Amino acid sequence: MSALPPWLQAAPGGCRLALRVQPKSSQNKIVGPEGEVLKVKLHATPEDGKANAALM
């Protein structure tokens, strides 16, 4: 079995992702690995839980 990338870890009952989320982007996009995290861009604003809801 190959090693997991640094931004993905095995956890009880599933896995854990280390993300760097950039809200207020022009589009929703998984940018890719950035050091120890996976970078994600979201169009949603970081207010009233909108960016969190978009991520989920």
pLDDT (0 to 100) of residue 1: 58
Helices (H) and strands (E) in the chain, counts: 1, 5
pLDDT (0 to 100) of residue 36: 96
In the chain, the DSSP E strands lie at 8-11, 14-17, 19-22, 29-34, 37-41
Residues 16-46 have pLDDT tens digits of: 999 999 999 999 999 999 999 999 999 999 9
Distances (CA, A) of 23 to 15, 32, 34, 41, 46: 23, 15, 16, 6, 6
pLDDT at 2 over 80: no
Arithmetic mean of pLDDT, 41-56: 95
